[in-house]
Amino acid sequence: MTKIVIVGNGMVSYKLCEKLVEKNTTASITVIGEEPRPAYDRVHLSAYFEDANADKLSMASRDWYEGNGIDLITSEKVSKINREKKEITTHNNNTFAYDYLVLATGSAAFVPPIKGVDKKGVFVYRTIEDLEMMMAYGKKASSAAVLGGGLLGLEAAKAALDMNLKTSVVEFAPRLMPRQIDEEGGNLLKQKMEDLGIEILLNKATSQITGEGTMTGMEFSDDTKLDVDMLIISAGIRPRDELGKEAGLEVAERGGFVVNSLMQTNDPSIFAVGECASHNNMIYGLVAPGYDMAEVVAEQLVHNTDEYQFDGFDMSTKLKLIGVDVASFGDPFCDNTPHSPISISDTQAGIYKRINVSEDGKTLLGGILIGDAEDYNMLHQMCVNEMALPPHPVDLIAKGSGDSGAAIGVDALPDTAQVCSCENVSKGDVCCAIKDDGVTDINGIKKATKAGTGCGGCLPMVNNILEDTLKKMGATIRKEICEHFPYSRQELFDLIKVNEIKTYKELLNKYGQGSGCETCKPAVASLLASIWNDLILKEATIQDTNDRFLANIQKGGSYSVVPRIAGGEITPDKLIAIGEVAKEFDLYTKITGGQRIDLFGATLNDLPLIWEKLIEAGFESGHAYGKSLRTVKSCVGSTWCRFGLHDSVGFAIEIENRYKGLRSPHKLKGGVSGCIRECAEARGKDFGVIATEKGWNLYVGGNGGANPKHAILLAGDITKEEVVKYIDRFLMFYIKTAEPLQRTAPWLEKLEGGIDYLKQVVVEDSLGIGEQLESDMEVLIANYSCEWKEAINNPKIRKRFAHFSNSDQDDPTQKFKRERDQRFPVAW
Amino acid sequence: MIFETNTIEEVKVWVNAGPTSDFPEDGGSSIFYEGEQIAIFNFSHLNKWFATQNLCPHKKQMILSRGMLGTEGDTPKVACPYHKKTFSLETGENLNGCEDSIKTFPIKIENDTVFVGLYEKK
Ligand SMILES: Cc1cc2nc3c(=O)[nH]c(=O)nc-3n(C[C@H](O)[C@H](O)[C@H](O)COP(=O)(O)OP(=O)(O)OC[C@H]3O[C@@H](n4cnc5c(N)ncnc54)[C@H](O)[C@@H]3O)c2cc1C
Ligand code: SF4
Ligand code: SF4
Ligand code: FES
């Protein structure tokens, strides 16, 4: 029987075993690894910081090895190779004979020869044991520095931040991730890291690490210093090739066993795979190329074929750093290739995207994405498959600026396109699993093809292919809201309405399972409110926290109070009343962007007292806490403005009062401007009305926020009555069909047929549901009552606004400070 | 502070937390006892009561009693109102796997009165 010995039990070693088993090897296999546990997922090592759970990272158990007849030996280091005798010796002096030897020894963190690196408090980031030591040490430390601002360094910085340490990154180069991203991208990334509270020090050469025995700081060649309790070194990797020299195996200049395209070293019976292999003078610090190499070796060992060869690997990467997307693909710089770069950068939103288009404008050569890497997979594939570009390549990265969107969908990908590089799965493989094996969900795809089981970066694209293919097969894609209800929001809407269900409990008992959760409870609460507009306080505990206490929860457990000021019109007396309340309860006061007044810092205990006074002064709840109508902003219009065509204030007040308290899938805002100058910014709202010479224009589907979008014209030059009728229909249609927490802009974007279809439904009443929608709205309007009024007048409800049920006192841990003559919460 | 997560055997004092009617159905409220804030949950859908620390370990705010109750599989849990981190009401474990666990306390109902079992560590 052929004897195969594998040295090292890392990710690639495991993958090789798996492939040998899959290919039904008849050889005897022995794996020797120096780490105490069987192979684990090093790529997701940082997850260990969250729960210190090594099992979650495990790639295969001892049982798996045993069950497949593989001899696994751990905690044993191979110290010598005897090529003549074809055997290896371990540090415990055990010897093993081999016919084929595979070196999968990976690499070690590179520790630069800086004075003092041997001091206590200096760590590297490579194994579970490294992390354990770091975590133990970090408990006593208050600050940490990371040496190296590359991919891994930034990941280590996140880990340090998670340990609640003041964190700095020290980088020698003038920018972060110098090998993956360009200067502009680097600047933006730096900004983002700093926003997260990570200090970034660039152009810093570390000259020594100070401290006696235990490190206390770092000194740099520019004579600056950094006081810091611990240091994590992430300055690159060094292949573990120490077995090579003595055994006469050729080792590359920058380290690593030299291999040919069959992964053979200069001894044809010895292979090297993974991070310890140097192919064409290249060492790959990623797992996907290692898996490819494993396939090449497995084919030779089992099928005795040299058909499969390793021919280099594309180093595109995508990662999510502390919630910041960073990706580069193809040739990100194109330093030596003629190309035309196209880039967009929005420093405010923290987005930078660059693509390099070939000189003839036909193909994509590479690019960089920071802040928004949603289209990484698609762009990467366009690049790899040399797919034709759309007429305006800028559309590929400039989403939201027009209707084009990312101009190309997964549909355009050839079947051969590789979607998962870790497991080398093509689009065709995924489609086959769906069409032939009847797979319908992402877990099924993972099982059938292994796609997405490596780094996971391909999952968004795999999911798109899944949905696209299912859709084409005529399957409906169900969007169940959570484990407690096997229904979509739309289905629940219909169930509640048709069966006249009035409470959450009733719905859960009839159609759900379990006891609900923080996803379905508020969603159902919103549905019940949208359908019946009943008092939400009747079922306070299924409301999101803001709705439960009728106020927006803020830092420190305090609340903000926002009285309704319809259209922004307010009398001096009312203004004074607000001022007096704010003064009495020492509330931080601010004018909002939506023409109202925000009062912050109210304790739970004070909320009913505050509202008592506000209601007495004639105010009502502003519903600033609800997924409901917030404001209808107005300009001054014809009453005062010399340009004003009609009374925009009066109309805004009318509309705001009409829809106040209306519950919807997300918050709603409106605006009314007295002329095309648009001082109310009505087109930035879910519905906007603008006066024209002949009447009013009605726009819908706009919003501000993170993804601003202008509203689109629904009907032009119409009367006030028509405006109201169409808003009624539009809002009701939206409320009935949108997903939970979907604002009108994305809802409209996803609506098949878009604005044209909406026009047909709302203006032309093509479905014949216009009157129904209007009368549904009438029911809601008729049921309106001010929630706060009910709350303060009902002693039982009022009692809920207490921090303690057994004491009248406020939460003693709440802390405030004073700034600019007002009260502020102390930061968390 | 002065209390440890404890088992019924270790309980030194049963603190009277007030009448059951102080705690909304499928909701919670907090009580104050010798400087400690304890969240008490009336999980009526399961017909069970739970008590935990009131402090959310994520943002260190006294807020868990205002959280929403639910289940994940068979595990009863509470979702912090701030960022919806969820904790098992039985073991206190953070179910998102990224926060520290919270303390849980034994609880019993006698004559429509809620009692929380505490162990004072001197
Ligand atoms: C924190 C971190 C994050 C990463 N993130 C990513 C990522 O997002 N994407 C990506 O593609 N890659 C990532 N990587 C890199 C990826 O983990 C490696 O490319 C991959 O693990 C290499 O696999 P390997 O089997 O070649 O080496 P390893 O997994 O390092 O395994 C080698 C094993 O051999 C053992 N060994 C060495 N010498 C001997 C000997 N003489 N005797 C016995 N045993 C020996 C070692 O102890 C080790 O267990 C990351 C790495 C780290 C550390
Ligand atoms: S939108 Fe027109 S009417 Fe309104 S304030 Fe501006 S200029 Fe005047
Ligand atoms: S944008 Fe809105 S949510 Fe974000 S910090 Fe400002 S007020 Fe808060
Ligand atoms: S690309 Fe890494 S799992 Fe698919």
Residue A766 distance to chain B (closest CA, Å): 42
Q: Is the pLDDT of residue A406 over 50?
A: no
Label residue A407 by pLDDT band (50, 70, 90): very low
Report the pLDDT averaged over residues A793-810: 87
SS3 A176: coil
Residue A752 confidence (pLDDT): 81
pLDDT tens-digit readout, B103-117: 999 999 999 999 998
Report the pLDDT averaged over residues A608-630: 93
SS3 A107: strand
Report the pLDDT averaged over residues A96-100: 96
Size of interface A-B (CB pairs under 8 A): 106
Q: Which residue has the higher pLDDT, A107 or A444?
A: A107
SS3 A1: coil
In this chain, the answer to whether the domains covering A122-235 and A414-470 adopt an identical fold is no
Report the pLDDT averaged over residues B20-33: 92
In chain A, the residue whose alpha carbon lies closest to the alpha carbon of B97 is A51
Q: How many A from CA of A667 to the centre of ligand 1? A: 48
Residue A403 confidence (pLDDT): 36
Please name the residues in contact with A756: beta carbons below 8 A apart, sequence gap of 6 or more.
Answer: none
Question: Which of A538, A544, A545 should we substitute to test contact with B (largest number of B Cβ atoms within 10 Å)?
Answer: A545
Question: Which of B43, B77, B98 is closest, CB to CB, to A50?
Answer: B98
Report the pLDDT averaged over residues A762-775: 91
Residues of chain B neighbouring A541 (CB-CB closer than 8 A): 24-27, 68-69
CATH class for the domain made up of B23-105? mainly beta
% of chain B with per-residue pLDDT over 70 = 92
pLDDT tens-digit readout, A697-747: 999 999 887 778 899 999 999 999 999 999 999 999 999 888 888 899 989
Please name the residues in contact with A799: beta carbons below 8 A apart, sequence gap of 6 or more.
Answer: none
Cβ A804–B30 below 8 Å, yes or no? yes
Label residue A322 by pLDDT band (50, 70, 90): low
Report the pLDDT averaged over residues A669-694: 95
For residue A283 and ligand 1, the question of a CB distance below 6 A is answered with no
| Alpha-carbon separation of residue B88 from A388, A521, B97, B99 (angstroms) | 52, 18, 11, 12
| Alpha-carbon separation of residue A308 from A11, A288, A297, A298 (angstroms) | 21, 16, 8, 10
Task: Quote the DSSP letter at residue A264.
Answer: B
Instruction: Find residues 462-521 of chain A whose CB sits inside 8 Å of chain B.
Output: 483-484, 505, 508, 514-518, 520-521
Residue A405 confidence (pLDDT): 37
**CATH code of the domain made up of A122-235:** 3.50.50.60
Q: Which residue has the higher pLDDT, B106 or B119?
A: B106
Report the pLDDT averaged over residues A556-579: 92
Q: How many A from CA of A148 to the centre of ligand 4? A: 26
A50 φ/ψ angles, rounded to the nearest 5 degrees: -75, -40
Asked if B60 is an interface residue toward chain A (Cβ–Cβ < 8 A), one would say: yes
Asked if A541 is an interface residue toward chain B (Cβ–Cβ < 8 A), one would say: yes
The residue written with tokens 């409901």 in the block is A628
The residue to mutate among A11, A40, A316, having the most atoms of ligand 1 within 8 angstroms of its beta carbon, is A11
User: Are residues A125 and A131 in contact, defined by beta-carbon separation less than 8 angstroms?
Assistant: yes
Residue B11 confidence (pLDDT): 77
**CATH code of the domain made up of A414-470:** 1.10.10.1100
Asked if A825 is an interface residue toward chain B (Cβ–Cβ < 8 A), one would say: no
For residue A702 and ligand 2, the question of a CB distance below 6 A is answered with no
ipTM over 0.90: no
Asked if A304 is an interface residue toward chain B (Cβ–Cβ < 8 A), one would say: no
CATH class for the domain made up of A3-108+238-303? alpha beta
Question: Which of A804, A815, A816 should we substitute to test contact with B (largest number of B Cβ atoms within 10 Å)?
Answer: A804
Residue A135 distance to chain B (closest CA, Å): 14
Question: Which of B68, B94, B115 should we substitute to test contact with A (largest number of A Cβ atoms within 10 Å)?
Answer: B68
Residue A536 distance to chain B (closest CA, Å): 15
Annotated binding-site residue? A675: yes
Integer Cα distance of A539 and B44 in angstroms: 13
pLDDT tens-digit readout, A439-470: 888 878 888 888 887 767 777 788 888 888 88
pLDDT tens-digit readout, A366-389: 888 888 877 888 888 888 888 878
For residue A452 and ligand 2, the question of a CB distance below 6 A is answered with no
Q: Is the pLDDT of residue A400 over 60?
A: no
Report the pLDDT averaged over residues B72-95: 91
Residue A532 confidence (pLDDT): 86
Task: Quote the DSSP letter at residue B95.
Answer: T
Output the DSSP codes for A441-457.
SHHHHHHHH-TTSSS-T
User: Are residues A110 and A236 in contact, defined by beta-carbon separation less than 8 angstroms?
Assistant: yes
* Beta-strand relationship, A317-321 and A324-330: antiparallel
| Mean pLDDT score of chain A | 89
Residue A522 distance to chain B (closest CA, Å): 9
SS3 A361: coil
The residue written with tokens 């790639």 in the block is A59
pTM of the model: 0.53
Tokens for A572? 């001096």
Q: How many A from CA of A695 to the centre of ligand 2? A: 15
% of chain A with per-residue pLDDT over 90 = 53
Integer Cα distance of A623 and A33 in angstroms: 62
Q: Which residue has the higher pLDDT, A402 or A784?
A: A784
For residue A522 and ligand 2, the question of a CB distance below 6 A is answered with no
Integer Cα distance of A39 and A64 in angstroms: 11
pLDDT tens-digit readout, A517-543: 998 999 999 899 888 887 777 888 898
Residues of chain B neighbouring A555 (CB-CB closer than 8 A): 61
pLDDT tens-digit readout, A726-735: 999 999 999 9
Residue B3 confidence (pLDDT): 58
A333 φ/ψ angles, rounded to the nearest 5 degrees: -105, -35
Asked if A811 is an interface residue toward chain B (Cβ–Cβ < 8 A), one would say: yes
Q: Is the pLDDT of residue A260 over 80?
A: yes
Residue A342 confidence (pLDDT): 87
Residue A74 confidence (pLDDT): 95
For residue A679 and ligand 2, the question of a CB distance below 6 A is answered with yes
Q: Which helix or strand (DSSP H or E) is residue A770 part of?
A: helix A770-782
> Among candidates A316, A274, A254, A277, which has minimal Cα distance to A110?
A254
Cβ B69–A541 below 8 Å, yes or no? yes
Asked if B37 is an interface residue toward chain A (Cβ–Cβ < 8 A), one would say: yes
A467 CB burial (10 A radius; 0-12, 13-18, 19+): middle
Query: What is the CB neighbour count within 10 angstroms for residue A766?
Result: 12
Residue B112 distance to chain A (closest CA, Å): 15
In chain B, DSSP finds a helix count (H) and a strand count (E) of: 0, 12
Cβ A541–B71 below 8 Å, yes or no? no
Q: Which helix or strand (DSSP H or E) is residue A685 part of?
A: none
Residue B4 confidence (pLDDT): 57
* Closest atom of ligand 2 to CA, residue A678: 1
The residue to mutate among A643, A681, A692, having the most atoms of ligand 2 within 8 angstroms of its beta carbon, is A643
Asked if A80 is an interface residue toward chain B (Cβ–Cβ < 8 A), one would say: no
SS3 A310: coil
Buried b (16+ CB within 10 A) or exposed e, A56-83: ebbbbeeebbeebebebbbebebeebee
Q: Which residue has the higher pLDDT, A625 or A705?
A: A625
Asked if B47 is an interface residue toward chain A (Cβ–Cβ < 8 A), one would say: no
pLDDT tens-digit readout, A410-423: 777 888 888 887 78
Asked if B66 is an interface residue toward chain A (Cβ–Cβ < 8 A), one would say: yes
User: Are residues A177 and A151 in contact, defined by beta-carbon separation less than 8 angstroms?
Assistant: yes
Label residue A315 by pLDDT band (50, 70, 90): low
> Among candidates A582, B39, A289, which has minimal Cα distance to A277?
A289
Residue A374 confidence (pLDDT): 77
Q: Which residue has the higher pLDDT, A825 or B5?
A: A825
Q: Is the pLDDT of residue A479 over 80?
A: no
Q: Can you give the residue ranges of every domain in chain A?
A: 3-108+238-303, 122-235, 414-470
